[in-house]
A and B are shown apart, each in its own frame.
Chain A
């Protein structure tokens, strides 16, 4: 009994963890109009409906744009800051590190609310750009932390060698540091993409007419359960998982 108990527990927990995912994906292939048992598929009907829904497709494109854009900015800023803090002796370095990390410990709702108040006070319009700025705020600490943690001594020796051989600071960065740190930079990028892609509350507060996919799904929820929601939800899940697995493979390759 004591031998099989751990395996029973493991199986039970995996069932619990995958229960909602299974319901989401299975009933996205439902034939009828309600995503509940009995299953009467498989049918691609609802994926077909998603493909011809202009609002959903626009939201999907907006989400991708915001995710890629905010992640690119976050990773660029995070990389430069990590390089500056790892390679130069700056007064107050510990405080700067803390300041760059601290947005990670604040609720997204509060980050979004603060930005919303400032944007409204300045009389600026809400748009995908403002949502992208919000997503960069939450992704920058993560990108900085991941890249800073991977800046080790062996890259520093290579950088010094390149500099001794006459490379300019820009050449050192471009030809030595970035290629050596590529796995960490890409891992940070894909994790940022996932977080932004999945993020709801900041995007909800900081967009108005053009919205991201989670916000569009949110407004679809008001009309109740539908296999169409399952289909688009499955797509969202698949994209997130693909980005995480890419990040995981990159980290694995670095360690291997």
Chain B
């Protein structure tokens, strides 16, 4: 370390990013927190320390329902995505020849880099009454006439799982290739079957990676407005959708802020649930 160099200079380098984060992230966040404790008197905003917005959340059935819908969708999506992504990452890491692995991985996650809006729209095409999925089901004779797939929870979950399978394949693959092959060899030498090796050696060793990826999935999924809004229709609303309704139609910023704080609370709970295995520095 170059101890002779002054701290003042170091602060000079850090200051711009620090000030930016304080001004445009920490301050707005604090104001939003304060806003969640304010109330609306007609259209007039009254600052204060009122918990009435949170009370409203607990009382109104449709707000409670949104929290439940969000949690159901997010947990379903997280579980399905991990179950689908793990074998894919495994195959890329251990079955695809090493020289093709990077290409296979790049191809497996390329559509990840599309706007939520464009990706959701593309699923709308696939799931339309005249779309490919209905065509395939008709051809296989599984249905007699086209079924409604778009504007359902199934469509929302499909759109989300598509996105997060790619994300999780990336994080789980990164974990699998870091494992020394000696662990697998040692387990096999000691007489473990392929399944036992997986269950008692590979799975525990890759658990931190899985939990980190699952946490990331949870955070991104529960906070997304676009996918449920485009694919889910309006029969049931998630928390981000309800927040947008408060902002748009009613301009109820205090209630929207309280909902945002609740959203943060759910993410914090998920973090605590996985904290034992989480490696946030690896995000």
Residues of A within 8 A of B (CB): 6-7, 9-10, 13-14, 16-21, 23-24, 27, 34-37, 76-78, 80-81, 83-85, 87-91, 96, 99-100, 102-111, 113-118, 120-121, 133-134, 136-137, 140, 144, 160, 169, 194, 197-201, 205, 214, 217-218, 221, 225, 229-230, 233, 236-237, 240-241, 243-245, 248, 252
Contact = CB atoms under 8 A, between A and B. Distances in A.
Given A20-B122, A84-B12, A110-B32, A200 B117 contact: yes
Contact of A83 (B13, B111, B125, B267): B13
A140 B17 contact: yes
A26 B124 CA distance: 14
Contacts of B121: 24, 217, 221, 229, 233
Contacts, number: 239
A78 B18 CA distance: 10
Contact of B21 (A17, A27, A103, A225): A103
Contacts of B165: 13, 16-17
Contacts of B10: 84-85, 87-90
B277 interface: no
Interface string B51-70: 00000000000000000000
27 contacts: A9-B91, A10-B88, A10-B95, A13-B165, A17-B162, A17-B165, A24-B121, A24-B125, A77-B17, A80-B13, A84-B11, A89-B7, A90-B7, A99-B18, A107-B224, A107-B263, A109-B240, A115-B24, A120-B253, A133-B24, A137-B21, A137-B25, A198-B118, A201-B225, A214-B118, A221-B117, A243-B113
B28 A118 contact: yes
A11 B199 CA distance: 25
A20 B123 contact: yes
A249 to B, nearest CB: 10
A107 B25 CA distance: 12
A221 B230 contact: yes
A118 B240 CA distance: 19
Given A10-B88, A37-B130, A105-B219, A225 B124 contact: yes
Nearest to B116: A200
Contact of A140 (B20, B113, B260): B20
Interface size on B, as a range, is: 35 or more
Leading 9 A-B pairs by shortest Cβ distance: A107-B223, A88-B10, A84-B13, A114-B28, A20-B122, A81-B17, A198-B115, A84-B14, A36-B130
Nearest to B220: A107
Contact of B28 (A115, A160, A245): A115
A112 B185 CA distance: 50
A77 B16 CA distance: 6
B48 interface: no
Contacts of B253: 117, 120
Given A27-B125, A88-B5, A103 B118 contact: no
A245 B14 CA distance: 30
Contacts of B114: 21, 198, 236-237, 240
Given A6-B91, A6-B95, A237-B118, A201 B226 contact: yes
